[in-house]
Amino acid sequence: MTITQRPPRAPTSTLPLRTAWLVLVVVVAADIMDLIDSSVANLAGPSIRADLGGGEGTVQWVLSAYTAAFALGLVTSGRLGDLLGRRRLFLLGMTGFTLTSLACGLAPGTVFLIVARTLQGLCGSVMIPQGMALVKVVFPPRHLRRALTPIGPLMGLTMVGGPILAGWLLHLDLFGSQWRSIFLINVPFGLAALGLGVRVLPHRGGEDPAARLDLTGVGLLTAASALLIVPLIQGRELGWPAWTYLMLAAAVALLVLFVVSQRRSDHPVITPTLFRKRSFVVGLVIVAGFHASLSAFVLVVNLLLQQGLGWTPLHTGLTLIPWALGTAVAVLLAGAVLAEKLGRATLHLGLAVAVIGLLGLWLTVAHWGTGLTFLRLAPALLLTGFGSGLVFVPLVDFIIGDATTEEVGTGAGLLNAVQQFAGAIGVAALGTLFLAHAGHHPSPRSRLDAAELVFALVAGLNLLTLLLVGLLPRHAQQAHGPA
């Protein structure tokens, strides 16, 4: 069937500009809470396991339960915003996110924590996609780009600052809370953002009254994603029984059925016009490879330094400062100058530097072994962070920079979903590989060998992603034109 694109919906809000900026503050606060929560658990993983117990897969589940649930809900919630109202869903998601953060912080055991993390991810997925749509509604077109400019750099800084914040909170051990403080800190910030949001968020957020929810597509996508993530996390610990392979095969089959169903649907889960844009499709593939490798890198560094070398969370967090600093400088540089002037060359440069940094990290670990120190790791971590930081801003420009008002909600939701789900897959697959290579009774040497393997593979994945960048147009504004 032929699907025609409806004309973009005009914004329906006439809020004063000062109130529009307060709306942006609420939306950014929600994004920061989500990004911190998806990254801090990396550093707290060993502490959680030491306190609550559980097998080697416990840390992976604590990480992946959030990111997978978040990714599963993102694509659907963009449509739900049209049906139920974006303000209502944003406030509902923020309330749920705050309450489930409290539940995570008070978790009495690993099963409770994993369930709470899953619900937290679902609440985040309800909240986040509504934010971008609300921002596009409350800002006049002449102010919109100025309003969106700081979001990319701020998100990049938040993502790399999360592990350092976690290390600091774990070191402080506030009120004897240990790892629990990394979740409990969300509660006061969530309540403050919720209070401001009730006051300033517009009652109309550019909803589409004609929108409908494709329950078949949602069901197929959710089932396929769940069938993919469960065996990747549990397979190694259980010895890869036959059912894990059957689940993986079923996931592929359901994804095929999902694509077929979307071609026939009158109300597809994903706006079909997005897939006619080369920059959007290629950009999502690049995002998947980049975030899978980034999430695996952060997890393995933390496992190596804490479990392999016995470093404290604070020592580990401080050791990541060169990586965070390199990322922060590069994000600001890309956002201010490079992304607009160099276009896709910024991505080439960033991924090339990241590959050099990862290979340098591999050589550093191989050479120094248990003699690793902050100063010996700093140069490779700085390079890796700087290269990664150059990627964040231009990627977003290529993927949703030319999206229409109708497409931006689904596009932003799908972008976030791919980021989160790729991160969950990276943690599951490469985290499993690290644990398998280290063995059931790992020694520092076996963990070092496992880390070397993962760093080399992450470098290879970044190199493959670099090659895909050549398929993008030279500049984001040429998304519909020749490369």
Work out the average pLDDT over 429-437.
82
Q: Per mean pLDDT, which of 73-87, 175-189, 268-282, 452-466 is the most reliable?
A: 452-466
Name the token pair of 53.
């117990």
Q: For position 367, which CATH number holds?
A: 1.20.1250.20
In a domain, 10, yes or no: no
Name the token pair of 403.
């999206």
Per-residue pLDDT for 480 more than 50? no
Q: What is the pLDDT of residues 93-109, one digit of tens each?
A: 999 999 999 999 899 88
Work out the average pLDDT over 22-31.
88
Residue 406's pLDDT is 62
The Cα 47–Cα 314 span in angstroms is 12
Q: Please choose, from the candidates 180, 196, 198, the residue with its C-alpha nearest in 3D space to the C-alpha of residue 101.
A: 180
Per-residue pLDDT for 84 more than 90? no
Work out the average pLDDT over 417-433.
78
Q: Buried (b) or exposed (e) across 52-70, using 16+ Cβ within 10 A?
A: bebebbbbbbbbbbbbbbb
In a domain, 64, yes or no: yes
Residues 433 and 451 reside in one and the same domain: yes
Residue 211's pLDDT is 65
Residue 381's pLDDT is 95
Name the token pair of 182.
């990394």
In a domain, 5, yes or no: no
Q: Between 271 and 23, where is the model more confident? A: 23
The residue behind tokens 């499709």 is 281
Per-residue pLDDT for 482 more than 60? no
In a domain, 174, yes or no: yes
Residue 152's pLDDT is 60
> Exposed, middle or buried by CB within 10 Å (0-12, 13-18, 19+), for 296?
buried
Which of the four pLDDT bands, split at 50, 70 and 90, describes residue 2? very low
Q: In this structure, are residues 398 and 285 in contact, taking their beta carbons and an 8 Å threshold?
A: no
Average predicted confidence (pLDDT) for the chain: 80
CA dihedral for 204, 205, 211, 216, sign (positive or negative): negative
The number of domains in the chain is: 3
Residue 81's pLDDT is 76
Q: Between 99 and 481, where is the model more confident? A: 99
> Exposed, middle or buried by CB within 10 Å (0-12, 13-18, 19+), for 383?
buried
Residue 380's pLDDT is 95
Residues 383 and 440 reside in one and the same domain: yes
Residues 183 and 259 reside in one and the same domain: no
Residues 435 and 348 reside in one and the same domain: yes
Residues 193 and 282 reside in one and the same domain: no
Work out the average pLDDT over 445-469.
91
Q: In this structure, are residues 34 and 203 in contact, taking their beta carbons and an 8 Å threshold?
A: no
Per-residue pLDDT for 353 more than 90? yes
The Cα 434–Cα 454 span in angstroms is 7
Q: Per mean pLDDT, which of 316-320, 341-345, 391-395, 447-451 is the most reliable?
A: 447-451
Per-residue pLDDT for 5 more than 70? no
Q: What is the pLDDT of residues 35-48, one digit of tens each?
A: 777 767 666 777 78
Residue 237's pLDDT is 66
Name the token pair of 78.
């963009």
The Cα 29–Cα 47 span in angstroms is 27
Which of the four pLDDT bands, split at 50, 70 and 90, describes residue 241? confident
Residues 292 and 331 reside in one and the same domain: yes
Residue 362's pLDDT is 95
Per-residue pLDDT for 395 more than 60? yes
Residue 12's pLDDT is 47
Which of the four pLDDT bands, split at 50, 70 and 90, describes residue 352? very high
Which of the four pLDDT bands, split at 50, 70 and 90, describes residue 240? confident
Residue 224's pLDDT is 85
Domain ends where: 173, 192, 207? 207
Work out the average pLDDT over 179-203.
89
The Cα 201–Cα 138 span in angstroms is 9
The residue behind tokens 């990541």 is 320
Work out the average pLDDT over 130-136.
80
In a domain, 425, yes or no: yes
Range of the domain at 299: 270-478
Q: What is the dihedral of CA 61, 66, 71, 73, to 10 degrees?
A: 120
Q: In this structure, are residues 206 and 137 in contact, taking their beta carbons and an 8 Å threshold?
A: yes
Residues 225 and 202 reside in one and the same domain: no
Residue 403's pLDDT is 64
Residue 116's pLDDT is 94
The Cα 336–Cα 338 span in angstroms is 7
Residues 152 and 55 reside in one and the same domain: yes
Which of the four pLDDT bands, split at 50, 70 and 90, describes residue 453? very high
In a domain, 7, yes or no: no
Residue 348's pLDDT is 92
Task: Give the SS3 label for residue 339.
Answer: helix
Residue 95's pLDDT is 96
At residue 453, φ and ψ (nearest 5 deg) are -60, -45
Residues 319 and 373 reside in one and the same domain: yes
Give me the percent of the chain exceeding a pLDDT of 70: 83
Task: Give the SS3 label for residue 15.
Answer: coil
In a domain, 4, yes or no: no
Per-residue pLDDT for 205 more than 70? no
- The continuous run of DSSP H or E covering 302 comes out as helix 278-302
